[in-house]
A and B are shown apart, each in its own frame.
Chain A
Amino acid sequence: MNLRWMFLLLLGSASPTFAAGIDIEIEIPQIDVAEYHRPYVAAWIEDDARALKAQVFVWYQQRATKEGEGTKWLPDMRQWWRRGGRELKVPVDGVTGATRPPGRHAVHLDATSAPLLTLAPGNYRLVVEAAREVGGREVLDIAFVWPPTRTETTRVSGQHEISAIALELIP
């Protein structure tokens, strides 16, 4: 077990806030290349039929540059685009935001508010996709059952564009 994640788990369990819901952690790797751009990252929840049930977050370049609008590159997150990105009118409050630097980032979904509030009991997958300009693309996913009966953490390591993702279910 990766020490860093063990530490995070301990930290998580010692945390005073036990809000029912889902805690998501994503670690963006430090990549040593001459031309580095922060990756576009999207996370969503899909069901067994791979239908998108909830947009969790979409991080992309918010400003236009001389290369055009930041939204131009959203389709590079191909799975996300296909599963629902192409239907999403961005920006969306609470979902879309600026790109993040390398490091660990946490997102909490509360059971008492959207999208979990309306998520029907069943089998789902959290999918996280990262696409980096002049870099690569990677998709990771974690299966889970909603609603949870006990606190449970699952983590999956990536290869290139995502170091790891972790999903903690809090009943």
Chain B
Amino acid sequence: MKLALKLCALAVIATLPLPASAHKMWIMPSASVLAPGQWVTVDAAVSNDIFHFNHVPLRLDNLVVTAPDGSALSAANAHVGKLRSVFDVELTQPGTYRIAIVNDGLMASWQEDGKPKRWRGTAATFAREVRSDAEGLEVTQTQGRVETFVTAGAPNDTAIKASGRGLELVPVTHPNDAYAGESSRFTLQLDGKPAADVELTIIAGGTRYRDRQNEMVLKSGAQGAIDVTWPAAGMYWLEASISTDAGVTAPATKRRASYVATVEVLPQ
């Protein structure tokens, strides 16, 4: 009976859409190619339609802004609204800035008095808040990176080098050198190593104004390489995720790593 219930629960879970496909997380800058000394304002939200605020704001707790020299910057005028978060970044240094929300946490589920329990937190709070002998305890590490790139003046690649943690789309072609009709190369990496055979979904902004998502789905090659040919100018949403047990540390037994980038493609 218990097994039957479990199977039943599994079946239900299997039919539920993954959170990533139901609601899309994104960070969008007001401009991606600017003269030095300017400001950019950035929106961050979780929504159904790409680049329209119609669900909830993206929390800014784990916002990391990396300056062209690799140093960390703090955002100005941060505000979390009902539908979106907003913050500003002053581009005092020439070069490329990486603006990212980086999450690394744990998700646990178990049975208590016959009822399913769920918990989210960090490795630090796990020991305090979750009993390690809980019935049917399953712990998943969740790593997420939602980011975008902005360049003031000439681009550089100090800030856009791979962090080596989680799933990342590492630019080979500079992400602020994307133009309609041209192609950009990226390398998909997990923990700094090529991630082969992983699907990258690309959707142009403005889904509210068309009837179809018109997504492009590309698969990374043996060395993690992905070449994207941009069909038109605009803001694009790029997303990839994987579930793996590679590189998992206790108490987690599984890992889910996701990645989202916003890339602006300019007209010729």
0/1 per residue, B18-51, Cβ < 8 Å to A?
Answer: 0000000000000001110110000000000000
Across chains A and B, the number of contacting residue pairs, with CB separation under 8 Å, is 29
Chain B positions 144-168 with a Cβ under 8 Å from a chain A Cβ = 151, 153-155
Nearest-neighbour CB distance to chain A for B21, whole angstroms, equals 34
- B37/A79 in contact, CB under 8 A: no
Cβ-defined partner of B37 (8 Å) among A69, A82, A86: A69
**With contacts A75-B35, A86-B154 known, what are 9 further pairs, Cβ within 8 A?**
A69-B35, A72-B37, A72-B38, A74-B35, A78-B267, A82-B179, A87-B153, A87-B154, A139-B268
Chain B positions 240-268 with a Cβ under 8 Å from a chain A Cβ = 266-268
Residues of B within 8 Å of A82, CB to CB, are 177, 179, 266
Residues of A within 8 Å of B267, CB to CB, are 78
B residues at A contact (CB < 8 Å): 33-35, 37-38, 151, 153-155, 177, 179, 266-268
A5 within 8 A of B: no
Nearest-neighbour CB distance to chain B for A120, whole angstroms, equals 24
State the 5 A-B residue pairs at the shortest beta-carbon distance, nearest first.
A87-B154, A86-B154, A86-B153, A71-B35, A75-B33
A81 within 8 A of B: yes
* In the complex, residue of chain B having the shortest beta-carbon distance to the beta carbon of A78: B266
Assembly CA distance A75 to B36 (angstroms): 10
Residues of B within 8 Å of A78, CB to CB, are 33, 266-267
- A72/B35 in contact, CB under 8 A: yes
Cβ-defined partner of A81 (8 Å) among B33, B38, B268: B33
* In the complex, residue of chain A having the shortest beta-carbon distance to the beta carbon of B32: A75
